[in-house]
Amino acid sequence: MTQKEKLFYYLDRINNSTELKDEIYWKCGLEIWKPNELQDDLESLMEGGCKQNYELIPFASDGDGGVCVLVDNQYVAMIDSEGGAGYIAASVDDFINILLWYKYIPITKKVFDGFEEFIEDYQRDEYGSNTSELINDFLQSEHLDLDNRMVYEKFLKGVSLTPAFIIEPTDEEYEISENLFRFDEAEFNEKIRCTGFAANEGDVGMVFEDAFTDLQSEFVSLCMEYTNESVDKIYIYIYQDTSQKMFNAIFVKGKRVIPAGNFADDEASDEFLSIGIKDIDKLVELCDMYQCKGPNEYKLEFDVATHKFDASYRYDNYTKSGISPVSEFMSWYEEIKEKYGK
């Protein structure tokens, strides 16, 4: 799923629920719109033109004339009504997570002073005690983070994206946009550099590898949660191509080799498999973002006691040769059973 598709998914979910849309407006101070409904607002903010020629999709507005936009089917930025602009989230998921968890977009210089300083400042703000059961239920239903530090890291990463989102007007009567925090340019660049999220061209490969490993770790975490950390070994199978996705897992507990579908009741196992399939999109999006060819097949192994992690990949779409991912998974299952003497 592309970032544009992900955005439209959330817009449909929110706009199709008047109760949720109103709750977000009153609790978070942003109104979620359909993209075409904010085009005039965006054009007004961009009336001086823009040399960068971004592809912008506006989808949310604040009470002061500012607009949130998806930029080039990749990141989320904010353009305020006072000449400020900047990235605020590295993905649509992150934007929704940040907005709904903090109940606003916390544009404060404290974000660059570390988590403790940021959260102390946030808790002094009126939004810090602005709770909503409806919004929290939505966050849980989308399997988004409910941990303060994790959401903070997402926001810090978002505002540190480079190259920065700026609006350089084509009309000389207008001025180039400021950053959202109103730092001078040199100070802002230094703040971003110190976060550790900004990447030089030579560091992009390392950033991708780290993010790629983190996403695979999320599948391990999903399995750990599903099994209540009660197994010894976890084997994860993932397959994806342009027409299909498959996710499944095998667990070893003592001498027993247990397919994921047999580990819990039907409702729990169906939810587990559904979440896993949905999370495959994150791997695809990451590879697309860094223009890296992603694997078609992943076989991940995790030892719960030692935390040793191994992975093997295939980069060929073997379904074109008539091979089924299901049959490949079952063959791997038989290999694992044989390994443990079953």
pLDDT tens for residues 132-175? 899 999 999 998 988 888 899 999 999 999 888 999 999 989 99
Q: Confidence band (pLDDT; 50, 70, 90) for 201?
A: very low
Residues 220 and 176 in one domain: no
The pLDDT tens digits of the residues spanning 19-51 come to 999 999 998 889 999 878 899 999 999 999 999
pLDDT above 50: residue 202: no
Q: Is 239 exposed, middle or buried (0-12, 13-18, 19+ CB in 10 A)?
A: buried
Q: Considering the chain, what percentage of its residues have pLDDT values greater than 90?
A: 63
What pLDDT is stored for residue 199 in this prediction?
A: 52
Tell me: do 213 and 335 sit in the same domain: yes
Q: Answer yes or no: do 115 and 236 share one domain.
A: no
Of the residues 150, 179, 198, the one at which a domain ends: 198
Q: Is the pTM of this model over 0.85?
A: no
Task: Please report, rounded to a whole number, the percentage of residues in the chain having pLDDT higher than 70.
Answer: 94
What's 227's domain CATH number? Answer: 3.30.500.20
**pLDDT, averaged across the chain:** 89
In a shared domain, residues 192 and 78: yes
Q: Which pLDDT does position 204 carry in this prediction? A: 47
Residues 179 and 219 in one domain: no
Q: Are the C-beta atoms of 76 and 58 separated by less than 8 Å?
A: no
Calculate the alpha carbon distances from 96 to 40, 102, 194, 240 in Å: 23, 10, 25, 26
Residues 178 and 212 in one domain: no
Give the pLDDT confidence score for residue 319 in this predicted structure: 87
Look at the chain and report how many structural domains it folds into: 2
- Residue 70, classed as helix, strand or coil, is strand
pLDDT score for 224: 95
**Tens of pLDDT, residues 284-311:** 888 877 667 788 999 999 999 998 899 9
Same-domain check for residues 10 and 39: yes
186 and 323 in a single domain? The answer is no
- Phi then psi for 103, rounded to 5 degrees? 70, 15
Looking at 167, 198, 229, which one is the last position of a domain? 198
The answer on 272 and 181 residing in a single domain is: no
Which domain covers residue 81, as residue numbers? 3-198
Report whether pLDDT(128) > 60.
Answer: no
Query: 5 pLDDT exceeds 50?
Result: yes
- Both 234 and 334 in one domain: the answer is yes
| Residue that is last in its domain, among 198, 224, 243 | 198
Both 308 and 163 in one domain: the answer is no
Residue 26 shares a structural domain with residue 173: yes
